[in-house]
Amino acid sequence: MLNIKKTILMLIAFMIACITLYAAPAIAHGEKSQAAYLRMRTLLWYDVDVSTVKLKVNEELTMTGKFYWFYDWPNNIAKPEVAFLNIGIPGPVFVRKASYINGVSGTNSTRFDIGETYEFKVILKARRPARVHMHALMNVKEAGPLIGPGRWVEVTGNQADFINEVTTLTGETIDLETYGLANAVKWHIFWGVIAAAYLLYWIFQGPILIPRYKKVKLLGDNADDMISTTDRMVGLVMLIGTFVVVTWSYFNAYKEYPVTIPLQSGQITIPALPDAARGVNAEVIDAKYRVPGRALEFSLKVTNNTNSPIKLGEYTAANIRWMNPEVSTAEPADSHDPVAVAGLTYEGGSVMPGETKLLKVTCTDAAWETYRLAKLIYDPDSRFGGLVFFFDEEGNRSVVAIGGPLIPVFI
């Protein structure tokens, strides 16, 4: 029996050693862990960019872009009745100075409409040196964070030089980095001492927790006899003292800060942008994902109601862009920006004004596997989504949302 235990322990130790030696470094971004349908059929981001990728402490950075709430919203995901625009950054590298959605302040939670497009702008101020991968982010109540495209940004300088001053409504200039810090530390120490004293009192009364619990079970209905008159007096003093201190601190704070405004918890509704399709309609007739070739192939019925011929230049889904270099070009912003510069091809040519034509589109790239979008074919509701971008002869762009069932092909 002893030999068997030793053998099992040696096997466990060997497995742990193998995992430790051969485990790959964790360099993947968190958005890859989200389900493929969640990234393709909820919030579709595009035109996301930052004003600079290198700045110093106290300098400002602006992130701008657009997002579309996909019309074929998954039934198991809460709709954006309450949502908040945010920026995903690992640590307090920036402070947010302002945020806007369609030009309206985005400091409040917002209600959005499915099937509509919105434009955003967030102004950040560099707080401490770091090199971070920052994302546009939308927090949706009961659905969680919906992550947008990311950019690598480097902040240089010294955190000690950071200044975050604001002028209050009463004309007082304060530094938000240190304002109220001493007061918060004072009250934490005060209540910490009170709590420690109360805990020590009971510790010196004898064994607590498990021994005392056993004694309570043993005494049954007579367990109250364990509480002495002194214990009751100490508890009463603590109760009355707590009420006195809380009441005094309330009136003292009101006297020191007579002008206050409650934290704003209201919700706003922001009108959507005009239709970005600009008269172009597109409908998916059929779609399949070719597993060996790592390619999405779909037939697109396109109707051009504009006054100029249009061509298909781009397909965007899950923050990945497949480009048709004959129509539109884009280079990756950095080494982690997923852009398939020549990943889109199609048959059908230009769609003339007033014409309806069937286009055979192919989007090919290893990103289907590396970004785990191919997992879509194993979902019980295997459907895809995304945005297609059409361009006319003058470079004007029409953005159309498409989606539908997806059939896997294994040959």
**pLDDT recorded at residue 338:** 92
Residue with tokens 């074919």: 377
**pLDDT recorded at residue 26:** 40
Residue with tokens 């304002």: 179
Residue 35 main-chain phi, psi, to 5 deg: -60, 145
List Cα–Cα distances, 301 to 87, 276, 298, 351, in angstroms: 37, 18, 10, 10
**pLDDT recorded at residue 347:** 96
Per-position pLDDT tens, the chain of length 411: 545 555 555 666 666 655 544 444 444 456 677 889 999 999 999 999 999 999 999 999 999 999 999 999 999 999 999 999 999 998 899 999 999 999 999 988 999 999 999 999 999 999 999 999 999 999 999 999 999 999 999 999 999 999 999 998 888 999 999 999 999 999 999 999 999 999 898 888 777 778 778 878 887 877 777 888 898 899 999 999 999 999 999 999 999 888 888 887 788 889 999 999 999 999 999 999 999 999 999 999 999 999 999 999 999 999 999 999 999 999 998 888 899 999 999 999 999 999 999 999 999 999 999 999 998 888 888 999 999 999 999 999 999 999 999 999 998
**pLDDT recorded at residue 22:** 44
Distance of CA 134 to the CA centre of its chain: 10
Residue 391, SS3 per DSSP: strand
For the chain, the structural domain boundaries read 30-168, 181-256, 280-409
* Residue 60 exposure: Cα atoms within 13 Å on the Cβ side: 11
Residue 264 main-chain phi, psi, to 5 deg: -80, 125
List Cα–Cα distances, 21 to 13, 14, 15, 16, 134, in angstroms: 12, 11, 10, 9, 30
Residue 39 main-chain phi, psi, to 5 deg: -80, -25
Distance of CA 218 to the CA centre of its chain: 53
**2.30.38.10, 2.60.40.1580, 3.50.50.60, 3.90.700.10: which CATH number matches 280-409?**
2.60.40.1580
β-pair partners for 130 = 155
pLDDT tens-digit profile of 346-361?
Answer: 999 999 999 999 999 9
**pLDDT recorded at residue 388:** 98
Residue with tokens 């862990």: 33
> Cα(58)–Cα(61) distance, rounded to whole angstroms?
10
> Cα(329)–Cα(343) distance, rounded to whole angstroms?
11
What the block records as the tokens of 270 is 């922001």
* Residue 78 exposure: Cα atoms within 13 Å on the Cβ side: 13
Q: Write the DSSP string, 349-389.
A: --B-TT-EEEEEEEEE-THHHHTTGGGGGGSSS-EEEEEEE
163 close to 58: Cβ distance less than 8 angstroms: yes
**pLDDT recorded at residue 25:** 40
CATH number of 30-168: 2.60.120.570
**Closest C-alpha among 316, 318, 317 to residue 330:** 316
> Cα(76)–Cα(144) distance, rounded to whole angstroms?
12
Residues 375-400, buried b or exposed e (16+ Cβ, 10 A)? ebbeeeebbbbbbbbbbbeeeebbbb
